[in-house]
Amino acid sequence: MGIFEDLVAEGDAVPLEGWDFSWFEGRATEERPPWGYASLIAARLAAVESALDLQTGGGEVTASAPVLPALMAATESWPPNARVAARNLPLVVRAPDAGPLPFRSSVFDLVISRHPVATPWAEIARVLKPGGTYFSQQIGERTNRELTEFMMGPQPVGNGHVLERARAEAEAAGFEVLQLEPVALKVQFFDVGAVVHFLRKVLWTVPGFTVEGYRDRLLDMHEHIQEHGRFESTSQRFLIEATLSGAGARGGS
């Protein structure tokens, strides 16, 4: 029990601000999507004069681009993340994930977002210039379902229509979808401390997670990892690229 308690306490003590996963090195792994999101946005950011990063987290991925446009703005709703992002990016504003966005209409050539909680398509269309692009890597349906169900038991099965829904919502807001590509990726946890930190950081995996509330299941997880050497799960991701067709969806000022 001493090892279990130490690992849980360690995972429970790691700060949550920012979107840097380097703490997991040697303790958990996740396959990377084949398209290389950071490289793709770096190329796009270098080719435009204005861009907006929605729900930027700590801004780490966007800040890694070698060249940023003259106007580079970002939004973040969680104050600790917004403070980290303000150190990484030139302009960060607080804004709710689902909008409204605190920008004038037709300002940006490019809107990007990595793992958004919500995609406010009408607001994205409003702040983009005609012909502008939305480019995003998003979380697919039932991502890490094995981990969720280990902790919470069997969960309702979704309808599997997340890609169709994303396309329909984009088109309804005046976009033409150019890319819509899903991928399933292997995730491995090598100690229960890594599971604790992940569940604290990636809140949607086990909503309402606390160490005390899930201590029994964490002990079962610890025993599983001790026996098998790891716990394996599957993350779901999809890439979407869409351009604003014609005048797009306009409104506001």
pLDDT tens digits for 109-139?
Answer: 999 999 999 999 999 999 999 999 999 999 9
C-alpha distances in Å from residue 121, one per residue of 8, 130, 206: 39, 14, 27
Q: What is the pLDDT of residue 247?
A: 54
**What top-level class would CATH report for the domain 2-244?**
alpha beta
Cβ-contact 175, 125 below 8 angstroms: yes
Whole-angstrom distance, CA of residue 41 vs CA of residue 74: 14
Q: What is the pLDDT of residue 212?
A: 97
Whole-angstrom distance, CA of residue 67 vs CA of residue 39: 12
Token pair for 252: 């506001």
Whole-angstrom distance, CA of residue 176 vs CA of residue 248: 10
Give 75's strand partners. 93
Q: What is the pLDDT of residue 1?
A: 64
- pTM, to two decimals: 0.90
Q: What is the pLDDT of residue 199?
A: 98
Whole-angstrom distance, CA of residue 200 vs CA of residue 217: 15
Token pair for 227: 């026996």
Break the chain into its structural domains and give their ranges.
2-244
Q: Is 163 helix (H, G, I), strand (E, B) or coil?
A: helix
Q: What is the pLDDT of residue 59?
A: 97
pLDDT in tens, 80-97: 999 999 999 999 999 999
Query: How many Å is the Cα radius of gyration of the chain?
Result: 19
Which residue, 74, 37, 58, 33, is CA-closest to 182?
A: 33
* Residues in the chain with pLDDT values less than 70: 1, 246-253
Q: What is the pLDDT of residue 250?
A: 46
Give 133's strand partners. 110, 243
- β-strands 175-189, 28-30 pairing: antiparallel
